[in-house]
Amino acid sequence: MTYRFRDLLALEPLTADELRFLLDQSKPFQEIQRHPLKKLATLRGKTVALAFFENSTRTRISFGTAAARLGADTMNLQAEASSIKKGETLLDTAFNLNAMKPDCLVMRHSASGAADYVARHLDIPVVNAGDGTHEHPSQGLLDALTIRDRLGTIENLNVTILGDLLHSRVARSNIHLLGKFGCRFTLCGPSIWVPRELEKIAPAVPIRCLYKVEEALEDAHVIMMLRVQTERLNDPPLSANDYILLYQLNAERLKRAHRDAIVLHPGPINRGIEITPEVADGPQSCVLEQVTNGVAVRMAILYLVIAGASEGGAHPA
């Protein structure tokens, strides 16, 4: 079965079959990362516009690398050096980028729904690279690919997400994706960051909120750590020392999880705050695998929205 994607704005509307197709399309691109020559001509002559209105390191470089490895050129816009600072509207900026005739727009913005808003006004594919506290689709996909590689499945797992859930688009994308495969979620962190309403963000997905990290880690197959997003907070609810005492993932607490549990983190990691170096660098950590898999997933996304998979055709990798 081949699926067509006009844009990739969120994972919530996608079916389990569509999500599985995206993961399967990413798999051959993983092999490319292991080759001495990592260049394909699949998107030669195409241009990908990267418009990041929020700071980004991994996602921006990963999408740029994915485009280059597919043979595409890139146009880069970063908000701090753009006309947004001079009062230009988001839509006018998008129209000006579109007038330069790129073949796809990859966009990150601090406002939830911004990518969808722009997509409704452009005639080129738009890929959401993170919008406010809504979703981060490519991160959800690369997390799922990493889990499937390590554990052999993404079905019927116990997933604990630990940290600042209130502001996390990564958590939402993972819940919407993994929830379609029968996964059960435990959300844990300070009560102000883990409101009970989060238990209802994905109908039919088992979600519970807990506030004691030791209880939340019991029998977890997957532990997703989240960064404390100080840039979205006026006043953190806990001091750094209290957060470490109550919620830091260390080797002793990790023992409460399933013996084959894996640890994920979307980065950037605040070592010594939400996670200790021995866990971040330990054998159960998948942090660097996530980064590598991010390039493969984003290659698949760009390939599918720009070129589209052909019925019965060979995968470009």
**Type of residue found at 210:** L
150 is catalytic: no
In a 3-state reduction of DSSP, which class is residue 184? strand
Is 135 in contact with 169 (CB distance < 8 Å)? yes
Distance CA 296, CA 73 (A): 17
Catalogue the E-assigned strands of the chain.
47-52, 73-78, 104-109, 126-131, 158-162, 184-188, 207-210, 222-225, 262-264
Q: What 3-state DSSP class applies to 72?
A: coil
Annotated active-site residue in 42, 59, 93, 146: 59
Rg (CA), the chain: 19
DSSP state of 206: -
- CA-closest candidate to residue 275, choices 295, 248, 246: 248
CA dihedral over 233, 275, 180, 212, signed as positive or negative: negative
Closest to 291 in 3D by CA, of 41, 8, 66, 105: 66
Assess whether 58 carries a catalytic annotation: yes
Burial of 13 (0-12, 13-18, 19+ CB in 10 A): exposed
Distance (Å, whole) CA 270 – CA 216: 21
Q: Which amino acid is at 224?
A: M
Give the closest residue to 147 by CA, choosing from 277, 261, 272, 62. Answer: 261
- Which one of the listed residues 108, 148, 221, 253 is annotated catalytic? 108
Options 27, 46, 58, 150, the catalytic residue: 58
Which run of H or E residues covers position 278? Answer: helix 277-280
- Per DSSP bridges, beta strands 126-131 and 158-162 are unpaired
Q: Is 136 a catalytic residue?
A: yes
Neighbours of 7 (CB within 10 A): 20
Which of 4, 34, 85, 86 does the annotation list as catalytic?
A: 86
Question: Is 200 a known active-site residue?
Answer: no
Q: Is 59 assigned a catalytic role?
A: yes
Residues with active-site annotation: 58-59, 86, 108, 136
